[in-house]
Structure 1
Amino acid sequence: MTSSGTPPDGRATRWAGQRERRRREFVEAGMRAIARYGPEVSTEQIADEAGVARTRIYKHFSDTADLQRAIALRAAEMIGAQFAPLWGVSGTPREMVQATIGAHIGWLSEHRALYQYLMRQSVTGPRDVVADVKAAIARQLTVLFEYYLGLFGADQRVAETIAYGLVGLVESSTAHWLDAPGGFDRGELSDLLGRWVWSILDDTLRSVGIVLNPDSPLSELDFRRL
């Protein structure tokens, strides 16, 4: 019922649903156009990809910034879906580290133009999706680190700093690698970052007197105090 007590207009409901569907279609066209034309894609190119005139897009988006915001939100959903399965993964510390790093490198490699588009929008656009995503991953890692540090009776205050530092390390290193591979292939980069990340985690644990076997499943903790 509406505020006036009358049933909602079925035509208005259908129109709202159709408008939302068309917005999604234009966003998906925008994603394809970014992959085809690169991070400097224009609204005209997005319209061409969608098979409509440029003015048609503005019947569904208030302006270019509105379209860019919708594309950024869709990208954030994609990245979230990529990482969601990792938070329930069990196994050895080394496997968990490599799985997370591999997912990060994989997404950036497969969506390089989109990542560069998002980076451009973080400077000129209304939303810094890259920062939002990095913060979301870091928060998840913080919870994970706090749990295990607490399990070992260690100081949990370092968890957040380590989490944000590691996310920054992996993201910035991978972004640079995309522009200047330096002879490293994707697997080599993943292994290198994995060793660095584990070294930081291992040093943190050792500083509180804990030695953790990186190849022992966390369900069967193999650690001792120094």
Structure 2
Amino acid sequence: MTPEADAPRPDGRAARWAGQRERRRREFVDAALRAIAEHGPEVSTEQIADEAGVARTRVYKHFDDAADLQRAIAHRATDLITAELAPLWDPSGTPMQMITVAVGAHTGWLAEHGNLYRFLTRHAYAGRRDGGDAVTDVKTVIAQQLTLLIEHYLETFELDVRISEPLAFGLVGLVDTSAARWLDNPRGIDLPELAGLLVHWIWRILDDALRAGGIELDPHAPLLVPGG
């Protein structure tokens, strides 16, 4: 007999079960996102099961435990956030327009999905085997992308590109921390006002970094780079 004839045949039933389990896991995560939006960050497994239309015990036929369910929710949330912010990495227009779009996307998502954000900050850390959390993952992805963007412009203007990473991470931290705190304690500031303040502060930081290298830009004029 040939080696191929001796090889075990793929178990079609196992493959179908794996596919069905994955589909059901996605459905439960979808139900969890709806339940979090309705009941808040302290949502219970019972409430998630109710949203999915099943008994609580059915949930754990597809997840190892609560931590496994939390990890799945965190992974889905990370994918949703990064997908929504993806258009920011093809910027155009004036510096002020680019900043406004970026801040609006971030604060808008946070305001619309406040309960999910709170859920991630309160629960996802405990559900991660690697000790990380989904919120930090997302902020890191955004900051890394922003680093490349800032580095490109600094290099084009022949400025010190070493500041790109700390500048990018600092700006992301400013927006995320300010918006997250605003969710819990707005102090009479509405979302458009918060976004406007953040846009102003970000431009001031970027303008100071550029002026230190001898570059002065009009924030309301199309961004023209040397040789562009």
State TM-score, norm by structure 1: 0.93
Aligned match for 1:41, one of 40, 43, 53: 43
SS at match of 1:121: helix
SS at match of 1:202: helix
Quote the Cα distance in structure 1 between the aligned partners of 2:14 and 2:184. Answer: 48
Query: In structure 2, do the counterparts of structure 1 residues 190 and 3 end up closer, same or farther at CA, with 3 Å as the change threshold?
Result: farther
Q: Which residue of structure 2 aligns with residue 140 of structure 1?
A: 145
Amino acid in the other structure paired with 1:201? L
Q: Map 1:200-219 onto structure 2 (within 5 A).
A: 200-218=205-223
Q: Which residue of structure 1 aligns with residue 164 of structure 2?
A: 159
Unmatched tracts of structure 1, length 5 or more = none
Quote the Cα distance in structure 1 between the aligned partners of 2:16 and 2:92. Answer: 45
1:54 partnered with 2:25: no
Q: Map 1:1-12 onto structure 2 (within 5 A).
A: 5-12=7-14
Write the deviation string for residues 85-109 of structure 1: whole angstroms up to 9, x where unpaired: 1101211111111111100100100
- Cα shift at 1:28: 0.5
Aligned match for 1:83, one of 85, 90, 100: 85
- The 8 Å contact of residues 28 and 59 in structure 2, kept in 1 or not, is answered as yes
Q: Map 1:174-185 onto structure 2 (within 5 A).
A: 174-185=179-190
Quote the Cα distance in structure 1 between the aligned partners of 2:173 and 2:150. Answer: 16
Unmatched tracts of structure 2, length 5 or more = none
- The 8 Å contact of residues 63 and 69 in structure 2, kept in 1 or not, is answered as yes
- Cα shift at 1:7: 3.5
Amino acid in the other structure paired with 2:84? Q
Query: In structure 2, do the counterparts of structure 1 residues 16 and 125 end up closer, same or farther at CA, with 3 Å as the change threshold?
Result: closer
RMSD over aligned Cα atoms:
1.6
- Cα shift at 1:165: 0.5
Query: In structure 2, do the counterparts of structure 1 residues 187 and 125 end up closer, same or farther at CA, with 3 Å as the change threshold?
Result: same
Query: In structure 2, do the counterparts of structure 1 residues 4 and 148 end up closer, same or farther at CA, with 3 Å as the change threshold?
Result: farther
Quote the Cα distance in structure 2 between the aligned partners of 1:76 and 1:40. Answer: 19
Q: Which residue of structure 1 aligns with residue 200 of structure 2?
A: 195
SS at match of 2:216: strand
Write the deviation string for residues 60-118 of structure 1: whole angstroms up to 9, x where unpaired: 00111000000000000000111101101211111111111100100100000000000
SS at match of 2:176: helix
Amino acid in the other structure paired with 1:31? L
Query: In structure 2, do the counterparts of structure 1 residues 6 and 188 end up closer, same or farther at CA, with 3 Å as the change threshold?
Result: same
1:98 partnered with 2:100: yes
- Cα shift at 1:216: 2.0
Quote the Cα distance in structure 2 between the aligned partners of 1:158 and 1:194. Answer: 20
Write the deviation string for residues 31-63 of structure 1: whole angstroms up to 9, x where unpaired: 011011110011111111111111111110011
Quote the Cα distance in structure 1 between the aligned partners of 2:218 and 2:113. Answer: 34
State TM-score, norm by structure 2: 0.92
